[in-house]
A and B are shown apart, each in its own frame.
Chain A
Amino acid sequence: MRVSELSRPSPERLLKQVQAGESKRWGAKLKIFLGYAPGVGKSYRMLDEARRRFERGEDVVVGAVQGQQSEDVQALLRKLEVIPPPQTPEGQAIDLDAILRRAPHVCVIDPLAARNPSGSRHPCRWQDAQELLRNGISVLTSVNLLHVEEYKEKVQAITGKDTAESIPKAFLLAADEIVIVDVPTDLCLWRLGEKLTSIGISNYQERQLSELRELALLLTAEVVDAQLESYVHTHGIEPVFGTQERFLVCITPNSNALAMIESGKRNKERFQGELYVVYVRQRDGSGDKNAAIEAHLEAARNADATIEVLESDDPIQAISEFAHEKRVTQIFVGHGSHENWRDRLFGNPVLRLIRAAEGMDVRVFPH
């Protein structure tokens, strides 16, 4: 496949390219430690990395620290240089000018999601981090899922907790590195002072936390997928198959499209995958039954699918090209009800698709 056609650049990739262009000159990198809740140990993991880097000779400073610190975290901080954040009546800010003057190689900012006091250079701390990166200073920082803008609503629905401090997801997607700090939910609760129960989900709180945990794992997988795609892109290599399940439902006016879309939706949820719905419009207009197709496309929209209407006289070829381009792993297609002259001439289209879609599962649905 032609690499240039892999996919259109997403806004995230464009942002990443801009950031990369700005900071690569200086080799500054953004590394984010993501946790699903307080108490998973993000600060510890991050500061421990800062310590290791410092001991290996890197020039590391700490620009912001959490209000509440465990003993382990305090012990790590004693080994590191801290640029004291000025206290204001409105809370802590990081001393951007002092850090820029000091010009270390790496700056630790814990946590990333914070509103700056009025009168600061930027309203939000993540913008401070951006400025450091632009000035060639690498940033190590921590984020709680709750503070990712696009996840605030979901997290609130689960926990009832809301926050005024957030960072845009695009900032996460543009990070050079992201690590998830994953611990069992019971350990997380224990660190927060709850009684420790047996392992596995055993109570309501753990059940809530596991919802957040799944969300954080999938968000990280998404970031990794975006990085993988850009790696594939910049290195000009073939796309990798088999990481995320991607479903492609092919609809025709006659097909049992609603059942296929319904199944595609369920599969997408179960596999936490992607769902595409494709309709091929033939240029001669044959097979066009607008009302039926409109109803199917409406169902596809409701299923949160990515919809694509292709124009081609050879639907099988159009579908298989699209599927390869999108790294699809499963194609859903309806059984033809009867063979027409075209099929007799070119062969049964479903069987042709099966032969063309090498490397993918083809699931044939009853008519």
Chain B
Amino acid sequence: MVVPEETQRGNLKVYLGYAAGVGKTFQMLEDARAAAQRGVDVVVGYFEPHARPDTIAQVEGLEVVPHRKLVYRGRTFEEMDTDAVLQRRPRIALVDELAHTNIPGSQRPKRWEDVQVLLDTGIEVWTTMNVQHIESLNDQIWQITGVRVRETVPDWVIQQATEIVAVDVTPEALLNRLKRGAIYRPEVVQKALTGFFKGSNLGALRELTLRQAAHEVDLRKSAYDETSRIQVPRISEPRVGEAGAAQSKERILIHITADSSTAMLIRRGRRVADFLHADCLALFVHRTTDLSDLTPTEREAVEKHLRFARSLRIETQILAGRDVPRTVVDFARQSQVSQIFVARSKGRLRERLLGTSHAEDIVRIAHDLQVTVVADRSRRQTS
């Protein structure tokens, strides 16, 4: 396929791992060296300067675009110099650590946003990230590890990747690397071993990574099949809309409230919608649409949740209604929603006595719709 170069967006390739030290950067650099040997114009756009020695050795022979140095609170930090990469205009730029948050004062808050700029000008980008940085997995990661990951990448950024590569290593090998001091400085190792690097954590994160990678491969297969109309025998059943199985597309509605569980609800709704190839929308219902009679705290929370939903590319809406559950269900019916996502009510007993549990009321009213009461993954199982 020949497309004029100006109009074509750059490809994105993501090396996906499950923890620090699995070898994402190493493999990316190894592939880059192979590409350079074939004569491909590849440069290193950003590379972690504190990398491990064997990884640093891999950079040798590759062209590195000098980093931008920024002083913040008296310390010097290095960031990718996006403008310099744009000026250099390579065919492929390597950008380590996609989930990184730039130092205040940078042009854009997040590195994945810098990467968008490169892609927009047609530069192909290869990057690295760990599964725990995928936004919609944030609560599950917390459940597994007890760590709330702050630096996340919206799922749509990863979905636009043309290629995902799972970088796999066994937890045993990873722990050996850790103990040899090949990943962290010795003083951090012990803490890592009892924290994030616990055996069961690593196994669970690894399984999650492999399943995510399989899902990403599956998405790309479906995209290919839709455009090419070539029949390839598949391991899974034909999906909705394909040959004969003409079911209508699912639509998922997320009920937004001021409650802090809403963030978890949004992530879960987004994830399920992606897997089911469903549309996803979000709704907030209040007496008035201008939110002026909410307390400042509530209002701030609602606005935060609406912004968060939009950042994950979920269409949001605010409706006026005195009877919240009724308004949500009516809206769902009018908008051909097939599934409503609601959060489990928190102060259960009190709410039940007062009859104010929206989740349960929605379940009661919406006999003709599917209602999913989402688990509170923001709380960990007690062990």
> Chain A: residues with CB nearer than 8 A to chain B?
31, 49, 154, 157-158, 176-184, 186-187, 196, 198-202, 204, 207-208, 210-211, 213-215, 217-218, 220-221, 224-225, 227-228, 231-232, 235, 237-238, 240-244, 265-267, 269-272, 329-330, 335, 348, 350-351, 354-355, 357-367
In the complex, are the beta carbons of A354 and B344 less than 8 A apart? yes
Bound complex: CA A231 to CA B202 (Å): 11
In the complex, are the beta carbons of A361 and B373 less than 8 A apart? yes
Nearest chain B CB to A39's CB is how many angstroms away? 13
In the complex, are the beta carbons of B220 and A208 less than 8 A apart? no
15 residue pairs from A and B, CB less than 8 Å apart:
A181-B168, A198-B162, A199-B11, A199-B13, A217-B213, A217-B217, A218-B210, A240-B204, A241-B140, A242-B208, A267-B276, A270-B275, A330-B372, A354-B363, A361-B374
B218: chain A residues at CB < 8 Å are 214
In the complex, are the beta carbons of B211 and A201 less than 8 A apart? no
**Which residue in chain B gives the minimum CB-CB distance to A183?**
B165
A196: chain B residues at CB < 8 Å are 38
Bound complex: CA A201 to CA B203 (Å): 29
In the complex, are the beta carbons of B235 and A228 less than 8 A apart? no
Partner of A213, one of B13, B217, B373: B217
B192 located at the interface, meaning its Cβ lies under 8 Å from any Cβ of chain A in the complex? no
In the complex, are the beta carbons of B370 and A364 less than 8 A apart? yes
In the complex, are the beta carbons of A217 and B221 less than 8 A apart? no
Partner of A351, one of B211, B339, B360, B370: B360
B203: chain A residues at CB < 8 Å are 224, 227-228, 231, 240
In the complex, are the beta carbons of A207 and B224 less than 8 A apart? yes
> Chain B: residues with CB nearer than 8 A to chain A?
1, 11, 13, 31, 38, 124, 140, 143-144, 162-163, 165-170, 172-173, 199-200, 203-204, 206-208, 210-211, 213-215, 217-218, 220-221, 223-225, 228, 230, 232-237, 239-240, 268, 275-277, 339, 344, 348, 359-360, 363-364, 366-377, 381, 383
Partner of B214, one of A200, A202, A218, A350: A218
**Which residue in chain B gives the minimum CB-CB distance to A367?**
B367
Bound complex: CA A182 to CA B206 (Å): 14
Nearest chain B CB to A209's CB is how many angstroms away? 10
In the complex, are the beta carbons of A351 and B363 less than 8 A apart? yes
B206: chain A residues at CB < 8 Å are 224
In the complex, are the beta carbons of B373 and A364 less than 8 A apart? yes
Of all A-B residue pairs in the complex, the 6 with the closest CB atoms, nearest first, are A200-B162, A242-B140, A221-B210, A217-B214, A228-B203, A238-B383
In the complex, are the beta carbons of A184 and B13 less than 8 A apart? yes
Bound complex: CA A69 to CA B266 (Å): 51
Bound complex: CA A228 to CA B199 (Å): 9
In the complex, are the beta carbons of B163 and A182 less than 8 A apart? no
B381: chain A residues at CB < 8 Å are 238, 241, 359
Bound complex: CA A3 to CA B155 (Å): 35
In the complex, are the beta carbons of B240 and A266 less than 8 A apart? yes
Bound complex: CA A12 to CA B377 (Å): 31
In the complex, are the beta carbons of A204 and B217 less than 8 A apart? no
Bound complex: CA A142 to CA B78 (Å): 41
Bound complex: CA A310 to CA B201 (Å): 33
A217: chain B residues at CB < 8 Å are 166, 210-211, 213-214, 217
In the complex, are the beta carbons of A180 and B210 less than 8 A apart? yes
A358-B376, A361-B268, A363-B371 known; A241-B344 Cβ under 8 A: no
* Max count, chain B CB within 10 A of own CB: residue among A204, A231, A243: A243
A200: chain B residues at CB < 8 Å are 11, 162-163, 220
In the complex, are the beta carbons of B200 and A231 less than 8 A apart? yes
Nearest chain B CB to A271's CB is how many angstroms away? 5
A177-B172, A210-B221 known; A360-B383 Cβ under 8 A: no
Extra contacts besides A177-B172, A208-B232, A359-B376 (15): CB < 8 Å:
A158-B233, A179-B170, A179-B173, A180-B210, A186-B163, A187-B31, A214-B217, A218-B210, A218-B214, A224-B207, A241-B143, A241-B381, A243-B211, A363-B371, A364-B372
In the complex, are the beta carbons of A242 and B165 less than 8 A apart? no
Bound complex: CA A109 to CA B148 (Å): 42
Partner of A243, one of B204, B348, B370, B374: B204
**Which residue in chain B gives the minimum CB-CB distance to A350?**
B363
In the complex, are the beta carbons of A221 and B211 less than 8 A apart? yes
Partner of A232, one of B200, B210, B360: B200
**Which residue in chain B gives the minimum CB-CB distance to A366?**
B368
Partner of B232, one of A49, A158, A242, A360: A158
In the complex, are the beta carbons of B1 and A355 less than 8 A apart? no
**Which residue in chain A gives the minimum CB-CB distance to B225?**
A207
